Structure 1
Amino acid sequence: MNEHMEIDTPKKIIADNIQLWYNRGQKFFTKDGLRLLAKQLDKHKEQVLTGSVLHQTTIRGDNIQTILDIDEGIWKDLRCRHGERRDGLSIYYRPLHMMLSQRDMKFFDLQKAYLSTVIMRPHSHHHHPHHKPALLPPNFSPTELTHLFTSTQQRWETSEQHGYLKKLLTLHRRRLASVTKIVAFACGPLAEGDEASLTQHALVLSLQRIIGAIKEEGVESESESDDAEEEETMGLTQVLGEFWRVLRGEEREKGKGKGKGKEREEVKNEEEVRCFAQDPAYRPLDQEVLDGAGITVLEDPRAFLEVDDNAFVVSISPNAPVQQIVADLASPAAIIQLRTGAGADPVSPRVEEMLSGYMRLELIYHKGLGDVLLYIRREKPRREGTK
């Protein structure tokens, strides 16, 4: 026998199976599974879940039961900054590399190693050396926070970065006319007064207005593909320079006679584009202010149920593998996300395959957003059945 031959341990067999099924195209995250999980968590919150027992099906097809009121001690959360979850149970979405390595298991369980989503209890969140403790309670009143958010919106929408983004979206309006909703993940709690969180939510509302204006204006029948192909083949430096010259010139012209009429015209059709946001760190104050602004706050995992081929996804700094989940659920019309795909939201072969069908467009760095990219789907995907 070869002394160097690798032994097929249970962990290796599981990893090999997971990799095999993944390569064959099996979806590890499905809307049916997330919908069932959401219903059971709702019942548990209302104290009507029988025996507090959660029922799940693993990717191997096993039926698993978990008693939610007891910490089984199986899982550990290695994600940085997950201390933003204040209290109660939370969903931990296992990215592909964790399912393969099983590093997120304190105690190995042969069946539960095949789970793609697990439930974490509050004290299960302290296994990362850079863990961020829960932040102090908010000191803002609803009026004060609304004023702060409105001020951030005004600064964002008068910034050069916003103007450039608007030009890009307008250029590719033919591909964006089908968008019916903006779905945002992990934008952070407004109540901390954090510039990044405030700006990300301002971005969501600006996307609603821009897409609403595109839909209201309608799209001419002739194809814009020639313009898009030309823009894709140009060097990024040339693209940026070209748009900056146009932007500065047009903004100066618009500024000469700018009034409130144009703003009214742009937002008139907003109701056709809905906004959803999901972040386990939201507090009641965040929800109150966001509801007032026109953003519907959804409990985890319900925002994922809103992701479809007509969605515009915003996911800039999530603590979950949003890219991998989205790639299993749909091919959104557009995505805005960080350039890097490391940390809690890593890329995977399936994510790379999905994004290969998108135009990858550079955005101008903004301190409130970071180094983000815009992805716009080239063609509407063909679906074989439902997911």
Structure 2
Amino acid sequence: MLPRAQPVDADAAQQQQHDETTARMNSIIHEIRTLYDANTPLFTKDAIRKVGEELERCRKDAVDGRSVTLQGINGVDYEVLVSLPPIQYTLSEEQHVGGSTWVIMYNSIEHLTTERNVRTFSPNTAYLPMIIATCTRRIKPHPEENELHASSTEELGKAFHEIEQKWKTSEYYDKLQAALATVKTPIVLDKVIGVALGPLIIRTLVNRRSIIQHALISAIESILLQRGVLSVSSGRYVQDPVYTQRDRDVLCSAGFTILDDPQAFLTLDDSSILVSINPDIPVKQIVADICRPSIIIWPRKYDSVYQPIFFEGG
């Protein structure tokens, strides 16, 4: 006679699995923290370049379930599946979809070493400082500061010019001139790069804050050109995956060169000026690892109004 099967305690089995996953997650977090404290960089230009190449392949050949190779902070390569983005997003009035199908999700050390929901934890992505993901940008407009509306590229370009000219008559522009009047660099600089400055327009509402940040790039270039700190062949570069075609058209007309992610970080070097006012990616940690720009303009603390919602593949 066969022995009677013992009943399975589903709750106990589930709790055991939960405890095992939690223990593994905490072990990985401890390993990452140990590596980081030993000065292992999260980001290198070589690693950023490789992720950028994978991103470009995804964009050129949109295949669901594509396998990409990404390197973890532990030096191990991981195969990760990248799914096609949802065909349609359900957007609230505070959401805005940028011009890219996929983006690079840059993970800060805080993100990598924070305990996560066990249900969504994946050992295959836990070590990764960068992941290719689809993204919806949730943006909080400031109607009291953005009273202009634009329904065409021409109207947006006009609004850009008007806001820029008005800003140049403000006390903030005078303070900028005074601050830059004392700047000295050991070498002549050759580029001003803006990262994550935001979209110029949210639906039909002109984004005044973003336009002023872009105007800041132009002003820095103009002032430092006159002082000989920047070379006459210098350029203005900006990168933000949230740019739509209207944004790109207006910025190109205003003399900016648009860089696709992650080209801004690959272009950044010691002869650069970096401007990143309110980023939704860990720009400070990326820059600390990859280079030392001669001039950096960024906030003293993180206080982003741009909140990305990432959808990881795989």
Q: In the alignment, does 2:282 pair up with 1:321?
A: yes
Which whole-Å CA distance do the structure 2 matches of 1:200 and 1:107 have between them?
36
Contact conserved, 2:197 with 2:213, CA < 8 A, in 1? yes
Q: CA deviation at 1:86?
A: 6.0
- Correspondence for 1:175: 185
Please give the alpha-carbon distance, in whole angstroms, between the structure 2 residues aligned to 1:104 and 1:322. Answer: 25
Pair 132,205 (structure 1): closer, same or farther in 2 beyond 3 Å = closer
- Distance (whole Å) between structure 2 residues aligned to residue 82 and residue 115 of structure 1: 27
1:283 pairs with one of 227, 240, 244: 244
In structure 2, stretches of 5+ residues that fail to align are 1-19, 86-93, 142-148, 307-314
Equivalent positions of 1:81-160 (< 5 A) are: 84-85=97-98, 88-103=101-116, 106-122=119-135, 131-132=138-139, 139-160=150-171
For residues 13-33 of structure 1, the C-alpha deviation after alignment (integer angstroms, 9 at most, x for no partner) is 212211111111111111111
Over the matched positions of the two proteins, sequence identity in percent amounts to 28
Q: Name 2:177's counterpart in structure 1.
A: 166
Structure with the bigger RCO (C-alpha within 8 Å, sep 6+) is 2
Question: Among residues 78, 88, 91, which one is paired with 1:64 in the alignment?
Answer: 78
CA distance, structure 2, for counterparts of residue 290 and residue 344 of structure 1: 22
In the alignment, structure 1 segments of 5+ residues that lack a partner are: 1-6, 72-80, 219-268, 346-387
Q: CA deviation at 1:271?
A: 4.5
Give the number of equivalent residue pairs. Answer: 268
Query: Equivalents in 2 of 1:30, 1:344: separation in Å?
Result: 27
Change (3 A) 1:326 1:344: farther
Q: Secondary structure at the match of 1:319?
A: coil
Q: Distance in 1 between matches of 2:298 and 2:282?
A: 12
What is the RMSD of the two structures over their aligned residues, measured on CA atoms? Answer: 3.0
Q: TM-score, normalised by structure 1?
A: 0.62
Determine the structure 1 residue equivalent to 2:210: 197
More displaced 10-residue stretch of structure 1: 23-32 or 49-58: 49-58
Checking the alignment, whether the CA contact within 8 Å between 2:51 and 2:130 is kept in structure 1 is no
Tell me, yes or no, if structure 1 residue 332 matches structure 2 residue 278.
no
Seen in structure 2, the aligned counterparts of structure 1 residues 95 and 317 have a Cα distance that, compared at 3 Å, is same
Whether 2:196 is the aligned partner of 1:186: answer: yes
CA contact (8 A) 2:237 2:257 kept: yes
CA shift, 1:142, in A, is 2.6
Shift of 1:300: 1.5
Whole-angstrom CA distance in 1 between matches of 2:140 and 2:119: 21
Structure 1 SS opposite 2:292: coil
**Could you say which residue in structure 2 is the equivalent of 1:18?**
32
C-alpha separation in 2, matches of 1:343 and 1:188: 11
Greater percentage in strand: 2
Give the C-alpha shift of residue 313 in structure 1.
1.0
